Amino acid sequence: MQLTINTLEELPKVAQALLSYANDQRFFIFEGEMAAGKTTFIKTFCEALGVTDVVSSPTFSIVNEYESSHGTVYHFDFYRLKNPQEAYDIGYEEYFYSGSYCLVEWPSKVEELLPGAYIKVQITVTDKGQRLFEFSKVEE
């Protein structure tokens, strides 16, 4: 599935489309270049999930936890990870296999640790400054 937007005001419709597309899937990876808008979109997606907490990038803490009307939401930013062992050190398995929503930025840093099924969200900045969102289901 693909959606292209011109303004930030259009992000809620992308978030709703992602929720519909995901069905019951609760594990999402977000890919895109630096400053593509991953964290900004995750903030809007968390709002669609009913998170009322302030959503911020977990760049330094690696994981942030939010409560939502759909249960717990874990937001990961693995950008600063030097190796996968650091994911083991934070107990990634407890998060990844909790059944809660998991939103992962920079998944390439922990690629071998990802579960077998998830939703991939690719965000690309177009030549015209638009954001192209591509959703795909990855299954075992």
Q: Output the average pLDDT for the chain.
A: 92
- Residue 15 inside a domain? The answer is no
- Residue 86 inside a domain? The answer is yes
Percentage of the chain beyond pLDDT 70 is 100
Per-residue pLDDT tens digits for 113-135: 999 999 999 999 998 889 999 99
Look at the block and give the residue holding tokens 């998170």: 51
Count the domains in the chain. 1
Per-residue pLDDT tens digits for 59-80: 778 899 999 998 999 999 999 9
- Residue 64 inside a domain? The answer is yes
Per-residue pLDDT tens digits for 73-116: 999 999 999 998 999 999 999 999 999 999 999 999 999 999 99
What's the mean pLDDT in 1-24? 92
d(CA 6, CA 106): 24
Q: What range does the domain containing 45 cover?
A: 24-125
Beta bridge partners of 123: 133
CATH number at residue 74: 3.40.50.300
Which CB contacts under 8 angstroms, 24+ apart, belong to 19-22? 19/45, 19/48, 19/49, 21/119, 21/135, 22/119, 22/135
- Residue 120 inside a domain? The answer is yes
- Residue 6 inside a domain? The answer is no
Cα distances (Å, whole numbers) of residue 82 to 57, 79, 101, 109, 129: 18, 9, 24, 8, 31
